Amino acid sequence: MISKNKFILLVSFCLTFNIAFTQKTLDRISVKGNSFINEKNDTIVFRGYNTSDPDKLEKQNQWKKSYFKEIKKWGGNIVRFPVHPSAWTERGKENYLSLLDDGIKWATELQMHVIIDWHSIGNLKTQMYHHDRYDTTLKQTFDFWRTIAVKYGKNKTVAFYELFNEPTMYNNTLGTISWLEWKEMNEEMITIIRANGGEGIPLVAGFNWAYDLTPVKENPINATGIGYVSHPYPQKREQPWEDKWTEDWGFVKQKYPVILTEIGFSHTEDEGSHQPVINDDDTYGDAITNYCDEKEISYVIWVFDAQWAPKLFEDFETYTPSRHGKYFKKKINSYNYNKK
């Protein structure tokens, strides 16, 4: 039997503990030249992990602090939340925001920054998408970013707003859109975010499923304080990769900050393995991480889940690392500057 007094003591201990934790806010991350910096002007290179959709995790009872503690054990200083438009629509704005509230609180307590990612794949102009779960409209996309900016604009944990996960015409099967049209849509989103008080960093992706940033050379986004994104999965290009990466997206780092918000790999025989993530000779891990280390490019591994592919662990009970889980858990834990 727990006496009333002891119970009260326990509760007040927890409250104190919680308050202490939540007060430890993170630094506001900003852009200086081609780098992300903290409030002390230190350059910060991010390494971390993608959660699966918070909606998916919540339905499995896995959207909880222990999941974030596990990510922390894997060495990350950042987590990316891929918000699927269909989940946002189905769960409803208010209910989905309460999932984000929890995730942002846990990330703050564990001292990891957050990327909120509007996880659509396709063509916002023609409104054709790779699958119904990515279905959205320009109106909903604008409204999403207004909502996020109003709600989390001053929250320093929420370092990044990734405007649209993977723009693609998919060889014109999703219709066409020009870079200038895409650029204008992104600029409008950035204007909306900032007008609504969003103090985080907008992240802009290029076509070919967020792989190709070549148009940035001639027509960069007309906004300061932003970063660019690429998703250079193994099969986007033939080996050797390095010169092609530089040509396709790495060159951007000469002038702007770059973050690879999705990288990862699997073997052909692995569950859910699919183009373009296959790398059977295990050369991709070292290639991409060395490339990023050398150029101080940030990266985030896809995906901290036991079902989505390439999965980083085998099950939610033991979090036993999968093939690429073993690689990245070791690699990301090897960085000194990520240790708090």
Q: By the criterion CB under 8 A, which residues form the site for its own copies?
A: 126-128, 137-139, 142-143, 146, 171-176, 188, 191-192, 194-196
Question: In the numeric block, which tokens belong to residue 270?
Answer: 């692995």
**106/129 with CB nearer Mg ion:** 129
Span 202-231, contacts to Mg ion by CB under 5 A: 207-208
Q: How far is the CB of 123 from Mg ion (least distance, A)?
A: 8
Strands 35-37 and 30-32 come out as antiparallel
User: How far, in Å, CA of 114 to CA of 133, rounded?
Assistant: 23
Q: Give least dist CB 205 to Mg ion, A.
A: 10
Query: What single string gives the DSSP state of each residue in 127-164?
Result: TEESSGGG---HHHHHHHHHHHHHHHTT-TTEEEEE--
SS3 121: strand
Pick 173 or 290: Cβ nearer its own copies: 173
To the nearest 10 degrees (0 to 180), the angle between helices 93-109 and 138-152 is 40
207 makes contact, choosing from Mg ion, its own copies, none, with CB < 5 to 8 Å by partner type, with Mg ion
- Give the Cα-Cα-Cα angle 30, 328, 299 (nearest 5 degrees): 25
Residue (208 or 338) nearer to Mg ion, CB: 208
**What is the identity of the amino acid at 118?**
W
User: CB atoms < 10 A from the CB of 200, how many?
Assistant: 27
Among its own copies, Mg ion, none, residue 105 binds (CB under 5-8 Å by kind): none
Q: Which does 287 bind (CB under 5 to 8 A by kind): its own copies, Mg ion, none?
A: none
Binding site partner of 27, from Mg ion, its own copies, none, Cβ cut-off 5-8 A by kind: none
Cβ 175 to Mg ion shortest distance, Å? 10
Distance CA 304, CA 145 (A): 25
Nearer to Mg ion, 124 or 292 (CB): 124
Distance CA 50, CA 312 (A): 10
What DSSP letter does each residue of 171-198 carry, written as one string? Answer: TTTT----HHHHHHHHHHHHHHHHHTT-
Task: Report the interhelical angle of 138-152 vs 179-195 (nearest 10°).
Answer: 30
**170 or 308: whose CB is closer to its own copies?**
170
| Partner that binds at residue 208, options its own copies, Mg ion, none, CB closer than 5 to 8 Å by kind | Mg ion
Kindly tell me which of 172 and 336 has the beta carbon lying closer to its own copies: 172
Q: For residues 331 and 340, what is the distance between their CA atoms, to the nearest angstrom?
A: 16
The nearest distance, CB 297 to its own copies, in angstroms, is 31
Between residues 133 and 331, which has the closer beta carbon with respect to its own copies?
Answer: 133
The entry of its own copies, Mg ion, none that residue 168 binds, CB within 5 to 8 Å by partner kind: Mg ion
Which of 104, 169, 292, 300 touches Mg ion by CB under 5 A?
169
Q: For strand 298-304 and strand 258-263, is the pairing parallel, antiparallel, or unpaired?
A: parallel
296 contact choice in Mg ion, its own copies, none (CB below 5 to 8 Å, kind-dependent): none
Binding site for Mg ion (CB under 5 A): 168-169, 207-208, 262
